[in-house]
Structure 1
Amino acid sequence: MRPHLPLISSHQGGRSALTCRFRCGDACFHEAPNTSGNPYFGEVLAGALSRRAVLGTAAVVTLASAAGASVLPAPEARAAGGGSGHGTRPGDGAKGLRFTPVPPNTADRVTVPPGYRQNIVIRWGEPILRGAPAFDAERQSARAQARQFGYNNDFLSLLPLERERGVAARRQILVANHEYTDEVLMFRGYDPDAPTREQVEIAWAAHGLSVVVVEEDRGTGALTPVPRHALNRRLTATSEFLLTGPAAGSELLRTSADRTGSRVRGTLNNCAGGTTPWGTTLHGEENFNQYFAHASSATDRRYGIGTGASERKWERFDPRFDVSREPNEPHRFGWVVELDPYDPDFTPRKRTALGRFKHEAAQPRLTADGRAVVYMGDDEKFDYLYKFVSSRRMRAGGGRAARAHNRTLLDEGTLYVAKLTGDSPAAEIDGSGKPPADGEFDGSGTWVPLATGDTSHVPGMSAEEVYVFTRLAGDRVGATKMDRPEDVEPSPRTGRVYVALTNNTDRGASGKAPADEANPRAANKHGHVLELAEYGDDPAAEGFAWRLFLVAGDPEDPATYFAGFPKERVSPVSCPDNVAFDPHGNLWISTDGARLGSHDGLFGVATAGERRGELKQFLTMPKGAETCGPVIQERRVLVAVQHPGEVDGASVEKPASVWPDGEGRVVRPSVVAVWREDGGAIGV
């Protein structure tokens, strides 16, 4: 029988107030910026396709296998056999998920399955550039930090490195985002009302991106950094970036320091990202609004910039963070940044054709004819899901001309926003989580074009306005308000796209958007994962089918769903955030702010076959930490342990965690590698 989905019960836990304060400027405690009146479209769909027509016959996606191509099963498919998800044997599970699940816990460490080992790859402050001193928390300086690994690592990418002196097989390029700084955990005696210039400049240097070559120890499987490698690089809140694409040079992007509207100092709040087929990395600027002060309704334009002083008081030391003095400076953040890790001389680009909003991530794929398609989520309550389709095609080969061409693909194309339609009447979606009469939360969708090059498709807005004020453009065309769309990843095997919707406790509240079929729970504290299939298996299609793949929470709660897999055989999961795929086609989910009484973790879930929906926890985080990254290779899992010890009341003097170096040492965000003790493939 299908599970019924009544209103979820209350759980303790979730993000600390300290995390909300420093990571996103208490975004969840302010009025959601989206106050538009976009309707629910379930009532206006005439002749809606049935669930089987939408995600079966009309949108068939094939899965290559050794035995040939097979169609993904319908969601009601069940796995054979019995047993408990919390006690499965290491050899039991979908290929890639054959490990003993880690039980929910609150241990102050990274907990991994039996038979697996781990090492800390790199910590905040470790030297990576020439001239960088060893980390000393009591004597940190801005100059040192600009040459050391940054703070609060989030997105990770591991790229192959060509052979050099016979060690290439053991070396890769690690690229990491540094989302934000947590000054009370960085500086002893930190006074939030009176930060010093040195503290502010250290924080500027701790933001941004790191590129560092890492090497595998073949004897143990551990990864360690290669200090002072020629490709190692730091980009900070003061490094030079270029604005490119159709909005570059716009009056909306010009400031007193940059009359051209094309050169920006710094990148801020880089959250998740993506790796392109042409070997570059993409980095989403997310909660940039919190760094700016003294905005007004005229200068904010829907992005949540405060009218008073900022949390970190940066405006006291640099006028560009004072919106009353530099009203266009915030317009130069909130973009997708493209970086070439193989070229230390390449100035990173902020790609305006991909729109400006709170980018959680940007994951590309290619169409059959070689055009780039990038999926993006806007991480805010009631904001939107986007995609971009390039006009030009990727050139194959690794030559200089091909590389130069491919690094311009994201400057020309069409930007779209998603409008999702449920196939059930609105009256059947009551916010309780009870499925509609057809037994499935599903429907169809449309990618609504917003702009192509210099041409706007939004009435009353120029193309430049669409790119700079993309949220307003989404409002005008009636995009579907979602429950914090974060990472969006297409499966490299099936082409299906998976959207992590972390949570939205304001869903259905008085004066807020009600539940709809794509966001069916009021007061949604645990989030869900949406699965969509582009029509004709064409990433450039302007229509798609969708259904909910996971409805997160405690499996014992009726208001949860795991793609039809028996719920007594799955791990509890809450607040999906970053997602990635392993070589077997399984989706791996990292969580942020889990509300089930356990620490955040990393989970693998089968997306196809008779075990579709089988979800198993692979690791858990230390106290106060969020799971980020992740990278899932055949023989290694890499995760970023972000903001360990970020617990209310914690400080350098009163740490809430002793990870990673033990008592008496400052808590340090770090990157962790996990591998099998016997050197075998992960989960096989």
Structure 2
Amino acid sequence: MRIPLPLIRTSSGSHEGGRSALTCRFRCGDACFHEVPNTTANPYVGDVIAGALSRRSMMRAAAVVTVATAAGTAGAAAGAPSAQAAEAATYKPGKPGNPGKPGAGSGARGLRFQPVAPNTTDAVTVPEGYGQNVVIRWGEPILRGAPAFDPENQTAKAQAGQFGYNCDFLALLPSGERGRQLLVANHEYTDEVLMFRDYDADNPTREQVEIAWAAHGLAVVVVEEDRKTGKLTAVNRHHLNRRITATSEFRVTGPAAGSDLLKTSADPSGTKVLGTLNNCSGGTTPWGTTLHGEENFNQYFANGTRATDKRYGLPATGSERKWERFDKRFDVAQEPNEPHRFGYVVELDPHDPTSTPRKHSLLGRFKHEGATVRLTGDGRPVVYSGDDERFDYFYKFVGSKRMKKGSSRAVREYNMSLLDEGTLYVAKLTGDSPAIEIDGTGKLPSDGEFDGSGEWVPLVTATAKGAVSHVAGMTAEEVCVFTRLAGDKVGATKMDRPEDIEPNPRTGKVYVALTNNSRRGTAGNPGVDEANPRIGNKHGQILELTERWNRADATKFAWSLFLVAGDPNDPATYFAGFPKDKVSPISCPDNVAFDSYGNLWISTDGNQLGSHDGLFGVATRGPRRGELKQFLTVPTGAETCGPIIQDRRVLVAVQHPGEVDGADVANPASTWPDGPGTYVRPAVVSVWRKDGCNIGA
């Protein structure tokens, strides 16, 4: 019996994925219309076959040991295809539950819900028997003294004390108060057309620009939980609440700190930066801080032809928002080094409202989708991050200092220095199939999967005594500031927009979301390879890495494509071998997270199948490995961001609702979340089971 999963087909237009022109304009500065920044001739995965089979055998052997030692149940995922087929043959979709009770759908533990069908409803749509609430919206006051939201009379001072715009990454941390947690959110970018009535893009006012500065950045908000459900409510004006904006002070750390490349007329020390921009995804650290990736920072600067580095896509003339008219630091002709001060991983201590956030230059400068952390066996941090650009790379940092336990100020200060000593690596992948078998259609090669081996190539190492570059012709500080160029020089593998990267806490395997790449294999662009096997890749894929011996600090790994996204009826799609007539359609994977059962949860950005974007759960091990089910969809024009998957609740950030071509304040494309006659507002949503039980259990 097939789960009813209707696909909704619409014209995709000419923009990357299913994004509107409005989203491309304000989120990434129309990156999909620009020339591909990476014009290097690095070897591709399919070009290096010699010796791959022997390496593959070695890595597969390591993987078997890894699985056996890491988790007793994980062995079935790699070694029991017959059991998987037998289980799938008996799979029956759950029937919709009665009001107040979730569908008793069968499935992997944690995924036992009736999947939401693809749709274009202007709402957050959740499974039968689940409830939801808006935790906090753009403009809600969170600091003491901040006024109530009044979009018709908004001021920069008011916005600086209110929840920012376009929330993306989310984190929940203990607050130290019973029944309360700390919600940390990124505010990636602003969409002035939807924020200001009668906005004149050619002539923004100073007040509008300063409101936009205040709407960028980060927010820390205490939230209170309903103990009977999973509902969360923001606690406004709590003493731990905080706003970080485009004008807040940051400290640069690592090899680039104090470099001539970072010095400006306002900061001759090269160590103090005002603001953080385009914070996309992020991560939480084992020592209780949060990490935030600065992504499409290039779009905020004007006159980029004067820039030292041409690999970051700075606008040649004026910027979209015209900020350079109100602060010369956004004019590269006047301040050529200012762009070098953005594109880093930011670390914030949410428990200390007086602390100065840091920009860690040792983690590299590029369009960070996020930064996720795990520890080595001896307690050193490992950080994964993707560079969200077509044909760019993904990276790993391995620290050299061990984390200390404790919550004293001295311990917290020490732990916030852990990302300033260690080695930054970039990934280089090798496929194990003959190039002739990777034909661009997505057809599996003769060995039955897209897979191979890989290595982490060192770029720079820093210690307390100094930093050393591993890239010929580049200093350590140059590697940290011009990290893309360093990756080019060492022959890193060009990928299809590497986005969020997450290690599975149950198995140790690492999952890389590759959102899409419509230029792959087209005229004048790099061709297909085994890790990026489709020409004009509209739907993206998810890569699964097994680090050698399951060591987080390993420099070798095995890889395979765990999921090749798209319409399950399309022969080019793949769901880890699970029967495709029993999965939800998925397009453009973006952010990823794990639940306590080891299931991977995937949020999408730019669905090319005609449905609104959504959140999906997929089993990563056992006989149901590859079983993927849609948990929710978001409103018109919105993207699903920042998923947090807890036992009793799921949180998502609903970013840029109503961001549809032709929409503005007077002619909204969405009326979410407050209904007709109100401004459309990005917001955080909590979802829970109405019967109070665990999600999907």
TM range (shorter): over 0.9
In the alignment, which residue of structure 2 is the partner of 1:35?
39
What displacement does 1:394 show?
Answer: 0.6
What displacement does 1:228 show?
Answer: 1.3
Which amino acid is 1:464 matched to?
E
What displacement does 1:231 show?
Answer: 0.8
Determine if the alignment matches structure 1 residue 388 to structure 2 residue 397: yes
Deviation track 1:240-271 (CA, whole Å, cap 9, x = no partner) reads 00001111000000000000000000000000
Matches within 5 A, 1:211-222: 211-222=220-231
What displacement does 1:43 show?
Answer: 3.9
Aligned length: 671
Contact 1:591 1:627 (8 Å CA) reproduced: yes
Deviation track 1:399-440 (CA, whole Å, cap 9, x = no partner) reads 333222111000111000000000112222121111222121
Q: Secondary structure at the match of 2:404?
A: coil
Matches within 5 A, 1:366-377: 366-377=375-386
What displacement does 1:75 show?
Answer: 8.5
Matches within 5 A, 1:130-145: 130-145=144-159
Determine if the alignment matches structure 1 residue 17 to structure 2 residue 28: no
In the alignment, which residue of structure 2 is the partner of 1:159?
173
What is the CA–CA distance in structure 2 between the aligned matches of 1:71 and 1:58, rounded to whole Å? 16
In the alignment, which residue of structure 2 is the partner of 1:662?
675
In the alignment, which residue of structure 1 is the partner of 2:3?
none
What is the CA–CA distance in structure 2 between the aligned matches of 1:220 and 1:533, rounded to whole Å? 37
Matches within 5 A, 1:216-231: 216-231=225-240
User: Measured at CA, do residues 21 and 461 of structure 1 come closer, stay the same or move farther in structure 2, by a change above 3 Å?
Assistant: same
Matches within 5 A, 1:296-335: 296=305, 298-335=307-344
Determine if the alignment matches structure 1 residue 98 to structure 2 residue 112: yes
- Equivalent position to 1:566, from 552, 574, 579: 579
Which amino acid is 1:15 matched to?
R
- Percent sequence identity over matched residues? 72
- Equivalent position to 1:62, from 52, 57, 67: 67
What displacement does 1:220 show?
Answer: 4.6
User: Measured at CA, do residues 484 and 54 of structure 1 come closer, stay the same or move farther in structure 2, by a change above 3 Å?
Assistant: farther
Q: Once structures 1 and 2 are overlaid, which stretch shifts more, 391-400 or 322-331?
A: 391-400
Matches within 5 A, 1:245-264: 245-264=254-273
What is the CA–CA distance in structure 1 between the aligned matches of 2:80 and 2:627, rounded to whole Å? 12
In the alignment, which residue of structure 2 is the partner of 1:415?
424
In the alignment, which residue of structure 2 is the partner of 1:398?
407
What displacement does 1:71 show?
Answer: 5.5
- Equivalent position to 2:52, from 43, 48, 52: 48
Contact 1:110 1:621 (8 Å CA) reproduced: yes
What is the CA–CA distance in structure 2 between the aligned matches of 1:429 and 1:550, rounded to whole Å? 16
In the alignment, which residue of structure 2 is the partner of 1:604?
617
Contact 1:84 1:568 (8 Å CA) reproduced: no
In the alignment, which residue of structure 2 is the partner of 1:3?
none
Contact 2:49 2:433 (8 Å CA) reproduced: no
- Equivalent position to 1:80, from 84, 88, 96: 88
What is the CA–CA distance in structure 1 between the aligned matches of 2:94 and 2:661, rounded to whole Å? 31
Determine if the alignment matches structure 1 residue 493 to structure 2 residue 501: no
Q: Once structures 1 and 2 are overlaid, which stretch shifts more, 577-586 or 295-304?
A: 295-304
Q: Secondary structure at the match of 2:487?
A: helix
User: Measured at CA, do residues 70 and 437 of structure 1 come closer, stay the same or move farther in structure 2, by a change above 3 Å?
Assistant: closer
Determine if the alignment matches structure 1 residue 290 to structure 2 residue 299: yes
What is the CA–CA distance in structure 1 between the aligned matches of 2:168 and 2:277, rounded to whole Å? 13
Deviation track 1:356-404 (CA, whole Å, cap 9, x = no partner) reads 0000000010000111000000000000010000111111233333222
Contact 2:93 2:105 (8 Å CA) reproduced: no
In the alignment, which residue of structure 1 is the partner of 2:202?
193
What is the CA–CA distance in structure 2 between the aligned matches of 1:401 and 1:426, rounded to whole Å? 55
Q: Secondary structure at the match of 1:272?
A: strand
What displacement does 1:48 show?
Answer: 1.7
User: Measured at CA, do residues 197 and 84 of structure 1 come closer, stay the same or move farther in structure 2, by a change above 3 Å?
Assistant: farther
Deviation track 1:105-161 (CA, whole Å, cap 9, x = no partner) reads 000000000010000000000000000000001010000000000000000000112
Return the TM-score normalized by structure 1. Answer: 0.96
In the alignment, which residue of structure 2 is the partner of 1:671?
684
Q: Secondary structure at the match of 1:382?
A: strand
Which aligned segments of 4 or more residues in structure 1 are displaced greater than 6 angstroms? 63-69
What is the CA–CA distance in structure 2 between the aligned matches of 1:196 and 1:307, rounded to whole Å? 23
What is the CA–CA distance in structure 1 between the aligned matches of 2:686 and 2:522, rounded to whole Å? 42
What is the CA–CA distance in structure 1 between the aligned matches of 2:12 and 2:315, rounded to whole Å? 29
- Equivalent position to 1:556, from 562, 565, 569: 569
Q: Once structures 1 and 2 are overlaid, which stretch shifts more, 604-613 or 56-65?
A: 56-65
Contact 2:71 2:507 (8 Å CA) reproduced: no
- Equivalent position to 1:633, from 635, 646, 650: 646
What is the CA–CA distance in structure 2 between the aligned matches of 1:584 and 1:11, rounded to whole Å? 38
In the alignment, which residue of structure 2 is the partner of 1:5?
none
* 5+ residue gaps, structure 1: 1-8
What is the CA–CA distance in structure 1 between the aligned matches of 2:50 and 2:538, rounded to whole Å? 32
Contact 2:217 2:243 (8 Å CA) reproduced: yes
Determine if the alignment matches structure 1 residue 149 to structure 2 residue 163: yes
Determine if the alignment matches structure 1 residue 346 to structure 2 residue 360: no
RMSD across aligned C-alpha pairs, in angstroms? 1.8
Q: Once structures 1 and 2 are overlaid, which stretch shifts more, 398-407 or 151-160?
A: 398-407
Determine if the alignment matches structure 1 residue 682 to structure 2 residue 686: no
In the alignment, which residue of structure 2 is the partner of 1:121?
135
- Equivalent position to 1:108, from 115, 122, 144: 122
Which amino acid is 2:141 matched to?
P
Q: Secondary structure at the match of 1:49?
A: helix
User: Measured at CA, do residues 566 and 41 of structure 1 come closer, stay the same or move farther in structure 2, by a change above 3 Å?
Assistant: closer
What is the CA–CA distance in structure 2 between the aligned matches of 1:67 and 1:495, rounded to whole Å? 13
What displacement does 1:340 show?
Answer: 0.5
Q: Once structures 1 and 2 are overlaid, which stretch shifts more, 214-223 or 579-588?
A: 214-223
In the alignment, which residue of structure 2 is the partner of 1:4?
none
Which amino acid is 1:591 matched to?
T
What displacement does 1:299 show?
Answer: 2.8
What is the CA–CA distance in structure 2 between the aligned matches of 1:361 and 1:409, rounded to whole Å? 18
Contact 1:38 1:480 (8 Å CA) reproduced: yes
Which amino acid is 1:57 matched to?
A
Q: Once structures 1 and 2 are overlaid, which stretch shifts more, 88-97 or 573-582?
A: 88-97
User: Measured at CA, do residues 43 and 303 of structure 1 come closer, stay the same or move farther in structure 2, by a change above 3 Å?
Assistant: closer
What is the CA–CA distance in structure 1 between the aligned matches of 2:68 and 2:672, rounded to whole Å? 41
What displacement does 1:49 show?
Answer: 2.9
In the alignment, which residue of structure 2 is the partner of 1:618?
631
Q: Secondary structure at the match of 2:32?
A: helix
